[in-house]
């Protein structure tokens, strides 16, 4: 079954002078009891942060926090002692575990565009940890699903997270097709950054979502040159 959620259905947080944020799930001042999570995917925020602004230090616990930088550069600091600058095409993961505080700032003179995703962890009570990798996902490796972050240690050159999930990115040229094999007990989440794709016969435009369950195969066709994120997730709460 496929649920198509249009870009217009996203929640646009009250705009500020420095932040434009679209919430794909209940978050902060937005609550919808029918839209709180999809499997262990609890938060997906599409954020654009103005120059010389950002999120000051704030705490988290018992969550896997993944940041995908699409444009610009984020300056990260945390109470584990990490101080890094993450540019477009780079990926960052924080295991908040028993508790960590961090800040995410745009110290540049141009806007910062990023996706921030939170996953409910497979295991609680972990020591906080941090990882980042320069994967160049925005511009490279066309016409395939490129794994960026995963709980599968068998995958190489990806960021590890404490979740039975995998985040893929695709730069799919017009007319090309991909087939993602899944299982009826798994969930598949797709969010389109740009261009148009057809997913199991349903057309998705920029910033549309597809949420699929009880499927064996996800067929994806690029109607125009497109970029999108695909997340493979467990459907069984015991596997979070």
Answer whether residue 58 is part of any domain: yes
pLDDT of residue 59: 97
Confidence of residue 48 (pLDDT cuts 50, 70, 90): very high
Structural domain span for residue 39: 8-239
Lowest mean pLDDT among 13-22, 37-46, 208-217: 13-22
CATH number at residue 206: 2.60.120.10
pLDDT of residue 117: 98
Q: What is the SS3 assignment for the chain?
A: CEEEECHHHCEECCCCCCEEEEECCCECCECCCCCCCECCEEEEEEEEECCCEEEEEEEECCCEEEEEEEECEEEEEECCCCEEEEECCEEEEEECCCCEEEEEEECCCCCEEEEEEEECCCCCCCCCEEEEEECCCCCCCECCCEEEEECCCCCCCCEECCCCCEEEEEEECCCCEEEEECCCCEEEEEEEEECCEEECCEEECCCCEEEEECCCEEEEEECCCEEEEEEEEECCHHHC
Mean pLDDT of 127-132: 97
Model confidence pTM above 0.95: yes
Report the percent of the chain where pLDDT is more than 90: 93
Q: pLDDT tens across 168-221, in order?
A: 999 999 999 999 999 999 999 999 999 999 999 999 999 999 999 999 999 999
Confidence of residue 129 (pLDDT cuts 50, 70, 90): very high
pLDDT of residue 140: 79
Answer whether residue 3 is part of any domain: no
Answer whether residue 1 is part of any domain: no
Answer whether residue 198 is part of any domain: yes
Q: pLDDT tens across 210-232, in order?
A: 999 999 999 999 999 999 999 99
CA distance 53 to 212: 36
Of 231, 227, 215, 204, the C-alpha closest to 9 is 204
Domain count, the chain: 1
Radius of gyration of the chain (CA): 17
Answer whether residue 2 is part of any domain: no
């Amino acid at each position: 079954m496929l649920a198509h959620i249009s870009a217009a259905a996203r929640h646009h947080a009250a705009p500020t002078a420095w932040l434009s944020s679209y919430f794909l799930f209940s978050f902060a001042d937005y609550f919808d009891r029918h839209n709180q999570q999809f499997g262990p995917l609890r938060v997906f925020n599409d954020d654009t942060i103005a120059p010389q602004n950002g999120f000051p230090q704030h705490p988290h616990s018992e969550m896997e926090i993944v940041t995908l930088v699409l444009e610009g550069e984020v300056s990260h600091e945390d109470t584990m002692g990490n101080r890094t600058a993450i540019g477009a095409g780079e990926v960052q993961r924080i295991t908040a575990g028993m508790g960590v505080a961090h800040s995410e700032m745009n110290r540049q003179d141009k806007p910062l565009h990023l996706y921030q995703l939170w996953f409910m962890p497979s295991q609680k009570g972990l020591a906080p940890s941090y990882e980042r990798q320069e994967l160049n996902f925005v511009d490279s490796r066309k016409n395939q699903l490129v794994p960026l972050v995963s709980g599968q240690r068998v995958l190489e050159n990806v960021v590890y997270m404490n979740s039975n999930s995998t985040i893929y990115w695709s730069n799919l040229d017009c007319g090309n097709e991909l087939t993602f094999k899944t299982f009826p007990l798994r969930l598949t989440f797709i969010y389109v950054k740009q261009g148009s794709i057809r997913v199991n016969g349903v057309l998705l435009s920029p910033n549309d979502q597809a949420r699929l369950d009880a499927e064996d195969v996800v067929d994806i066709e690029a109607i125009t040159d497109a970029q999108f994120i695909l997340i493979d997730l467990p459907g069984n709460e015991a596997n979070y």
